[in-house]
Structure 1
Amino acid sequence: MSQRSHVLVLAALLALSGAAGAQQSINVGLQAGGTMSWVTFAIQRYGLDKQLGFTLNATTYASKDATRVALRSGAAQVVVDDFIEVTLLRQKGFPVSAVYPFSLLAGGIVVPEDSPIRTVADLRGASLGATSLTDKTLLILRAYTRATAGFDVQDASKVVSVSSPLMEQFMNRGEIQAGIPFWHHTARMVAGGKFRQLISSADLLKGLGLPQNVPLLYVIARTDTDPATLGLFLKAVKLAEERMKADDAYWPAMLGANLYVLPDRAQLPALRAQWAAGLPKRWGAADLNATLLLTRKMIAVAGPDVVGLTRLDTRAFNTTFQP
């Protein structure tokens, strides 16, 4: 072989090596305050990305909308979002799919410990705080009250928009009598002793005849992401979650990295327990069907305008990844 041929072969090998190396990195978009940041922190803390042979590039965005823009533009290849959003993105022509469940529907309805509200039926006429009128737990509660108590909580109660971190203050001041905080705020509030959970999201689902382990949040990836690297990332996510469940030292380190603000460290065990309870245990046709049934219930009670779509597009979900 001539010297020129040797040079060409070497250049080709280097090019292939460079391309393979580029495929072994993945760009993850994190929402500020979101729990995927806990997992990516764990992946890097435990060196799982290096062990599995890929590079994790994590970028934090200020809001969910900013994270969605990053996914649409390709700045992020992977984000966490809900089952409604992935269908909406597909309908708008964006090449994305939900590749693995990230978190089950968790949390529930919270009231002050001394509240006279003892059952869901007692919410009739009460003021209820929700993060938005499209909050998934609120939509499920509406279906539940219609099915079991003979009223739609949206019509029979005063539902107001309150950010999750402020619900405790609003209830302390008597401005709302019940709230639907995010699951981690629920854990903190109940652990503090001043609030109790009126009903969990799981019990709402059970009352509607639905499976209790319904995925709410999914890992959503661009379909042009290298599947081998995506598979390695999902494996790292599952390995990190297992380490996080068992490692007592991880949680103070995560708080120390300012990934979450916990007013009282005594609430940490409750936060850990609630987080672990929300981890999906499997991913297959049955889980996708549970999400489909839940969406149908929400559309039936709230209407497609509130939910944001007329049906769930099951083609937006990919069950082939099994880390």
Structure 2
Amino acid sequence: MSRPHVLLLASALALGGSASAQKSISVGLQAGGTLSWVTYAIARYGIDRQLGFTLNATTYASKDATRVALRSGAAQVVVDDFIEVTLLRQKGFPVSAVYPFSLLAGGVVVPDGSPVRTVADLRGKTLGATSLTDKTLLILRAYTRATAGFDVQDASKVVSVSSPLMEQFMNRGEIQAGIPFWHHSARMVSGGKFRQLVSSADLLKGLGLPQNVPLLYIVARTDTDPATLGLFLKAVRLAENRMKTDDAYWPAMLAENLYVLPDRSQLPALRTQWAAGLPNRWTAADLNATLLLTRKMIAVAGPEVVGLTRLDTRAFTTTYQP
């Protein structure tokens, strides 16, 4: 073989070797979920390339679809809540919550001119919630029992309302208060027609819990390469830090149709609320706060509503500290 051909072959083998050594991770995104904001930022800033791994992101139509992808191995990483990761482990799936993704945020919203001034005023009112298992609703039930002497589930009329429709329902007087998703809450309050009656953080404080309890976690299959998973978690934190300060990112994210915001004047409120929900630590104390919160929810609503009898702390790990 001539020398030029030997050099070409050696070069090809070197390239092939580096490609095979390249770390990669498959991430399952829920359509409309905020993890897609972060993975877009990772790609936009080239953070995955800088850290030396490949991010393969696939968008699924629903949260249930991301769970199926995680169970089947089509996705190695997704975002889900602390209840689901325990349920998956109980069913024998090899998954673990490896890092908090978002703190419990949002709260109860009422029209600005509403006579409802305190949580006690919710007695006899109609309250809209996305579901009877909504975490903030369960916390509100525990809070009213502890501070107002009644369970809002029994003393008020709780109806199921889609989060994007709560503003319309309140404008028509069909509900007097609502528990929308945090981003809808931020948008509603920023417009001046609504106000926050009580935040989720204040509800937690009233129950004697820390105000920064994680709600959503980054959940990974336990057969994921630990080094690559560590790089991904580091990329998430780096991307979030860039997103906080980069004014150009947010219009670009909206242009990618990763979130629908008809009124661009609400963008600052959306950014502020998103940033407020970011965790800044992951310790055994945070996991214990999640455990205590779950116990309170089970005590007030019962295991049938919450979905489990106890939180399995073995489904969580604090090993990763990006």
Classify the secondary structure of the residue corresponding to 2:93: coil
When normalised by structure 1's length, the TM-score is: 0.94
Classify the secondary structure of the residue corresponding to 1:318: coil
Give 1:74's aligned residue: 73
Tell me which amino acid in the other structure corresponds to 2:191. G
Give 1:53's aligned residue: 52
Give 1:203's aligned residue: 202
Give 1:289's aligned residue: 288
How big is each residue's C-alpha offset from its partner over 1:272-309, in whole Å with a ceiling of 9 and x where there is no partner? 00000000010010110010010011011101110000
Give 2:99's aligned residue: 100
Give 2:187's aligned residue: 188
Give 2:6's aligned residue: none
Give 2:21's aligned residue: 20
Alignment of 1:250 onto 2:249: yes
**Distance in 2 of aligned mates of 1:143 and 1:97:** 28
**Distance in 2 of aligned mates of 1:141 and 1:43:** 36
Give 2:237's aligned residue: 238
The within-5 A match list for 1:1-323 is 19-21=20-22, 24-323=23-322
CA deviation after TM superposition for structure 1 residue 20, in Å: 2.9
CA deviation after TM superposition for structure 1 residue 17, in Å: 5.5
**Distance in 1 of aligned mates of 2:166 and 2:65:** 24
Give 1:5's aligned residue: none
Large movers: runs of 4+ above 2 Å: 12-21
CA deviation after TM superposition for structure 1 residue 16, in Å: 6.9
Cα RMSD, aligned residues only: 1.5
Classify the secondary structure of the residue corresponding to 1:322: coil
**Distance in 2 of aligned mates of 1:18 and 1:256:** 32
CA deviation after TM superposition for structure 1 residue 263, in Å: 1.8
CA deviation after TM superposition for structure 1 residue 13, in Å: 9.0
How big is each residue's C-alpha offset from its partner over 1:207-227, in whole Å with a ceiling of 9 and x where there is no partner? 000000000000000001111
CA deviation after TM superposition for structure 1 residue 243, in Å: 0.2
When normalised by structure 2's length, the TM-score is: 0.94
Classify the secondary structure of the residue corresponding to 1:198: strand
Identity, % of aligned positions: 88
Q: Which residues of structure 1 form unaligned runs of 5+? A: 1-9
CA deviation after TM superposition for structure 1 residue 188, in Å: 0.2
CA deviation after TM superposition for structure 1 residue 173, in Å: 1.0
Q: Which residues of structure 2 form unaligned runs of 5+? A: 1-9
Classify the secondary structure of the residue corresponding to 2:300: helix
**Distance in 2 of aligned mates of 1:213 and 1:172:** 31
CA deviation after TM superposition for structure 1 residue 15, in Å: 8.7
Q: 1:87 to 1:16 in 2, by over 3 A?
A: farther
**Distance in 2 of aligned mates of 1:312 and 1:14:** 47
